């Protein structure tokens, strides 16, 4: 059988694409290397998720020094959206243009914010984003409100927001994809628990690609999903992909849509030796400069759902910085099981419990810059990820700004949160991976055209985070979703 399209990967990009093309009547085969994530008590157990790594991918990749590491990525239906913190932000309007940074230039995108704007709106509707327009000073133009009201602050978070406002900052309600109905709790799927950011949702209430995109199309007669099926190679004949080779057999289609996540998509293209006449596949890997900071205070932090504040006042600079610094947001509730992964083995549990009770987690993100030497390579069929940090001055300055915020809010920085692996997230922290098959007008310097179609092969598309020419400094998933909606419109109009 020859399918209209084969979609490889069911995360933010592939799941969204599958949802759209399925409803447009395409005869689809969806291939996903992972299984459905089991619903079990361990979904919400910090020790199982963070210390035992129960849902980790278990693979070994190699860094630029030849050192093996286990990447922090997940292979399940829904991809990494099963674990994400569901902070769904748009890139800023200026992010689509060229921007000067401490570390050099962030290149312009081949399209403008206005090209993405209608798709951001649709993405927020599809993923049921809760937010409040008008609070974030750098919010890109949008006349429509968020589809759902902002997730409210709990009292001590509201008090931190007030303190920040007194300092002249503009904390805003973080836009979140959780299916929460605060007015009618009896109708709310989301129970506002303390195990959201980094955990799968046992209540099936997180707006992940599994529940939002894949589940609703599974019973359609034109959709077939193969789980536990890994795409190994795309087979090219006469300038077209004709079939995909998997560990469960070969499958044919008219159109192939790769969405394995930026690193695995590059790996698949490299293993297949396709779409790489530019020698750009796998290059320009970006993942943001991220740090997770745990702050302790002498008072207990009674918060349950913590991740409700974002701060963009330093995104494009500060009084003492003419270059951009980045974005700040709260992390989810810090749990003893997360701290345990970083603490010496002899740390008594009551110490970890005390610390978790008094902790508040923050996440800071600065833009890293595309560098051709930061790249995915395949050697002996194994993924090698070379990464040399870029633009670190911005990150260090942003950390200083966060310290100021913490002093204002009565906390002090204590130690890095190992749940996210280290203070400065190391190479294994690939959560924000983008850029390995960037889109552009010039086939010599980009892999994909502006419709995310390979310049070399006209029935091959890549719709995950690979297409980003620059990373901005907000979490990437909403842009990946919006782009998949844009590409699916293009495919349906063809």
Ligand X SMILES: Cc1cc2nc3c(=O)[nH]c(=O)nc-3n(C[C@H](O)[C@H](O)[C@H](O)COP(=O)(O)OP(=O)(O)OC[C@H]3O[C@@H](n4cnc5c(N)ncnc54)[C@H](O)[C@@H]3O)c2cc1C
457 near ligand X, rule: CB under 6 A: no
266 near ligand X, rule: CB under 6 A: no
385 near ligand SF4, rule: CB under 6 A: no
CB of 129 to ligand SF4, least distance (A): 13
Cβ-contact 192, 332 below 8 angstroms: no
What whole-number distance in Å separates Cα of residue 291 and Cα of residue 399? Answer: 8
191 near ligand SF4, rule: CB under 6 A: yes
The pair of three-digit structure tokens given for residue 257, joined into one six-digit string: 């849509």
Out of 7, 61, 79, 175, the only residue in the binding site for ligand X (CB under 6 A) is 79
Residues between 413 and 452 with contacts to ligand X, criterion CB under 6 A: 431-432
Residues between 205 and 234 with contacts to ligand SF4, criterion CB under 6 A: 205-206
Residues between 465 and 494 with contacts to ligand X, criterion CB under 6 A: 465, 475-478, 480
Residue 391 binds which entry of ligand SF4, ligand X, none, CB below 5-8 Å type-dependent:
none
Cβ-contact 397, 287 below 8 angstroms: no
Residue 201 binds which entry of ligand X, ligand SF4, none, CB below 5-8 Å type-dependent:
ligand SF4
CB of 178 to ligand SF4, least distance (A): 4
What whole-number distance in Å separates Cα of residue 434 and Cα of residue 436? Answer: 6
| 329 three-class SS | strand
What whole-number distance in Å separates Cα of residue 440 and Cα of residue 425? Answer: 29
Q: Apex CA 449: angle with CA 445 and CA 454, to 5°?
A: 90
The pair of three-digit structure tokens given for residue 122, joined into one six-digit string: 């649709």
What whole-number distance in Å separates Cα of residue 161 and Cα of residue 172? Answer: 8
Q: How buried is residue 131: exposed, middle or buried, by Cβ count under 10 Å (0-12/13-18/19+)?
A: buried
Spatial CB neighbours of 57, under 8 Å, sequence gap ≥ 6: 70, 71, 73, 74, 75
270 near ligand SF4, rule: CB under 6 A: no
Out of 178, 212, 341, 482, the only residue in the binding site for ligand SF4 (CB under 6 A) is 178
**Beta-bridge partners for 173:** 309
Query: With CB under 6 A as the contact rule, which of the stretches 89-97, 186-194, 213-221, 451-459 interacts with ligand SF4?
Result: 186-194
Query: With CB under 6 A as the contact rule, which of the stretches 118-126, 164-172, 197-205, 291-299 interacts with ligand SF4?
Result: 197-205
Spatial CB neighbours of 463, under 8 Å, sequence gap ≥ 6: 13, 14, 16, 17, 257, 258, 259, 452, 480, 483, 484, 487
Residue 233 binds which entry of ligand X, ligand SF4, none, CB below 5-8 Å type-dependent:
none
CB of 259 to ligand SF4, least distance (A): 23
- Applying CB under 6 A, which residues contact ligand SF4? 178, 190-193, 195-196, 199, 201, 203, 205-206, 305
- Applying CB under 6 A, which residues contact ligand X? 8-14, 31-34, 72, 75, 79-81, 83-88, 198, 230-231, 259-262, 264, 268, 431-432, 464-465, 475-478, 480
């Amino acid at each position: 059988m020859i399918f209209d399209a084969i979609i490889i990967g069911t995360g933010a990009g592939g799941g969204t694409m599958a949802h759209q093309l399925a409803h447009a009547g395409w005869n689809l085969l969806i291939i996903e290397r992972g299984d459905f994530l089991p619903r079990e008590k361990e979904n919400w157990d910090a020790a199982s998720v963070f210390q035992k790594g129960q849902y980790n991918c278990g693979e070994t990749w190699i860094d630029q020094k030849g050192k093996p590491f286990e990447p922090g990525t997940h292979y399940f239906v829904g991809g990494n959206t099963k674990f994400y913190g569901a902070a769904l932000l748009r890139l800023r309007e200026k992010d689509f243009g060229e921007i000067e940074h401490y570390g050099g230039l962030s290149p312009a995108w081949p399209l403008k914010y206005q090209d993405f704007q209608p798709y951001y709106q649709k993405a927020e509707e599809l993923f049921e984003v809760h937010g409040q327009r008008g609070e974030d000073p750098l919010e890109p133009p949008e006349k429509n409100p968020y589809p759902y009201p902002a997730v409210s602050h709990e009292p001590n978070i509201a008090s931190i927001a007030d303190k920040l406002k007194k300092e002249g900052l503009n904390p805003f309600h973080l836009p979140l994809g959780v299916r929460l109905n605060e007015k009618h709790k009896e109708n709310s799927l989301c129970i506002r628990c303390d195990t959201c950011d980094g955990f799968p949702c046992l209540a099936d209430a997180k707006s992940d690609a599994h529940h939002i995109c894949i589940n609703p199309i599974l019973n359609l007669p034109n959709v077939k999903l193969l789980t536990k099926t890994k795409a190994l190679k795309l087979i090219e004949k006469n300038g077209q992909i004709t079939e995909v080779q998997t560990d469960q057999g070969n499958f044919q289609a008219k159109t192939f849509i790769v969405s394995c996540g930026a690193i695995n998509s590059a790996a698949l293209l490299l293993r297949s030796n396709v779409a790489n006449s530019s020698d750009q596949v796998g290059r320009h890997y970006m993942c943001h400069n991220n740090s997770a900071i745990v702050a302790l205070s002498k008072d207990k932090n009674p918060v349950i759902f913590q991740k409700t504040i974002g701060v963009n006042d330093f995104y494009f600079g500060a009084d003492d910085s003419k270059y951009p610094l980045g974005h700040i947001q709260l992390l989810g509730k810090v749990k003893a099981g997360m701290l345990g992964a970083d603490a010496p083995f002899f740390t008594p549990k009551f110490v970890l419990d005390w610390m978790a009770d008094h902790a508040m987690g923050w996440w800071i993100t600065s833009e890293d810059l595309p560098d051709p030497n930061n790249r995915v390579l395949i050697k002996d069929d194994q993924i090698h990820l070379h990464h040399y940090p870029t633009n670190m001055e911005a990150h260090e300055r942003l950390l200083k700004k966060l310290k100021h915020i913490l002093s204002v809010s009565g906390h002090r920085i204590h130690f890095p949160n190992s749940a996210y692996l280290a203070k400065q997230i190391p190479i294994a922290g690939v959560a924000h991976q983008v850029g390995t098959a960037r889109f552009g007008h010039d086939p010599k310097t980009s892999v994909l055209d502006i419709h995310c179609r390979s310049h070399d092969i006209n029935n091959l598309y890549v719709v995950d985070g690979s297409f980003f020419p620059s990373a901005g400094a907000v979490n990437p998933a909403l842009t990946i979703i919006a782009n998949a909606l844009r590409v699916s419109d293009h495919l349906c109009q063809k």
